[in-house]
Amino acid sequence: MADGKEDKTLTKEKMIKTVSCLGFANAEEDDPLYKEAYGVGKALAQAGYVVANGGGPGVMRATSEGAKSVGGKVIGVTFYPKDIALFEGRDKKNPIDEEIVTQNYLERTLTLLDVGQTYVIFKGGTGTISEFGMAWGLARLYFGHHKPLILYGKFWENIMAAFLSNMRMRPEEFQVYRVVNSPEEVVKSLELFEMMLQHDSHAFNPAEKAFEL
């Protein structure tokens, strides 16, 4: 500035840089879920975020393709099993830019959660459920300096209501996520999370490691 004073209106560096996308591996290209994931990947890249996923097919490939359609960067966290017949593995059609190879399924899950500073969780099967459970549990354990979850799809409201009605839940467990229903809402949620992190000078920087593998 002309008077030599620091311009406090300058945009701070983002604390959320990479978003891990988790969801159904068997979604086909004509599946509405695939198209929704593609739209989210595209919106994330357009907003300047790096997309991370498991490097496989379905929702993983869809988010990659969406990000790459607008020149975004994609990280794939993979492992190459020798004895897991029903694991989808690496999809060569998934256009990742950087591959992180892990040794087993558990390490792959933890690395996906470690790489991302926020998670977008789509509809899926038991694999997605296990990833969601781990992400949600860690958010509760590290509450106040946690990595937030974005649950994609209105169906999540029924699922979370069922947990509240039937399980032994703590209040903070319902403060670590947002349910959204469009790519635009995903980006708005990330902007909200970013504002909260920037506002709290004592908040955990999600670019740092939240837990040890």
Give pLDDT tens digits for 130-164. 999 999 999 999 998 899 999 999 999 999 999 99
**pLDDT of 55 strictly over 60:** yes
Structure tokens at 60: 């993983």
Average pLDDT over residues 73-86: 92
Q: Are 41 and 67 in contact (CB under 8 A)?
A: yes
What pLDDT is stored for residue 153 in this prediction?
98
Spatial separation of the C-alpha atoms in residues 62 and 57, rounded to whole Å: 8
More confident residue, 1 or 55: 55
pLDDT > 90? residue 100 = yes
Mean pLDDT of the chain: 90
Is the pLDDT at 212 greater than 70? The verdict is no
The pLDDT of residue 82: 85
Residue 117, CB-side half-sphere exposure with 13 Å CA sphere: 18
* 195: Cβ contacts below 8 Å, ≥ 6 apart: none
Side-chain half-sphere CA neighbours of 33 within 13 A: 22
Return the domain boundaries, the chain. 18-199
> pLDDT value at position 2?
43
How much is the pTM? Answer: 0.89
**DSSP assignment letter at 177:** E
Q: What is the pLDDT of residue 1?
A: 41
The contacts of residue 42 (CB under 8 Å, 6+ apart) are: 66, 67, 69, 70, 72, 183
Which long-range CB contacts under 8 A does 190-193 form with residues at least 24 apart?
190/16, 190/19, 190/44, 190/47, 190/49, 190/118, 190/150, 193/16, 193/118, 193/148
pLDDT, average across residues 63-86: 94
Q: What is the CATH code of the structural domain delimited by 18-199?
A: 3.40.50.450
Query: What does the pLDDT read at residue 11?
Result: 52
Q: What is the mean pLDDT of residues 64-87?
A: 94
Nearest Cα residue to 145 out of 187, 201, 107: 201
* 85 pLDDT above the threshold of 90: no
